[in-house]
Copies of this chain bind each other. A is one copy, B any other.
Amino acid sequence: MKNLVLASTSTLHGQEYLEYLLPLIKSHFRDCSKILFIPYARPGGISHEDYTATAGKAFEKAGLQVHGIHEFDSPHEAVKQADGFFTGGGNTFLLVQQLYRNDLLPALKEAINKGVAYLGTSAGTNIAGLSMKTTNDMPIVYPPSFNTLGIVPFNINPHYLDPDPASTHKGETRETRIREFHSHNPQPVVGLREGSWLEVKGKNIKLKGDLTARIFEAGKEAFEVEPETLLNDLN
CB pair B137 A133 closer than 8 Å = no
CB pair B180 A140 closer than 8 Å = yes
Residues of chain A at interface, number, CB under 8 A: 45
Among the stretches A75-83, A104-112, A182-190, A222-230, the one at the interface with B is A182-190
Among the stretches A25-33, A56-64, A163-171, the one at the interface with B is A163-171
Residue of B with least CB distance to A15: B170
Q: What copy number does this chain have within its complex? A: 2
CB pair B135 A139 closer than 8 Å = yes
Nearest CB in chain B: distance from A108 CB, A: 21
A91 proximal to B (CB < 8 A): yes
State the majority secondary structure of interface residues on A: loop
CB pair A161 B171 closer than 8 Å = yes
Residues 15-49 (chain A) with a chain B CB within 8 angstroms: 42-45
**A134 vs B194: C-alpha distance when bound (angstroms):** 24
Which 10 residue pairs of A and B lie closest in terms of their CB atoms, listed nearest first? Answer: A45-B183, A13-B168, A159-B171, A138-B177, A140-B181, A9-B170, A142-B146, A91-B180, A140-B184, A133-B139
Given contacts A43-B172, A93-B139, A137-B177, 10 further A-B contacts (CB under 8 A): A10-B170, A13-B170, A43-B176, A44-B172, A44-B180, A45-B179, A45-B183, A94-B184, A133-B138, A134-B138
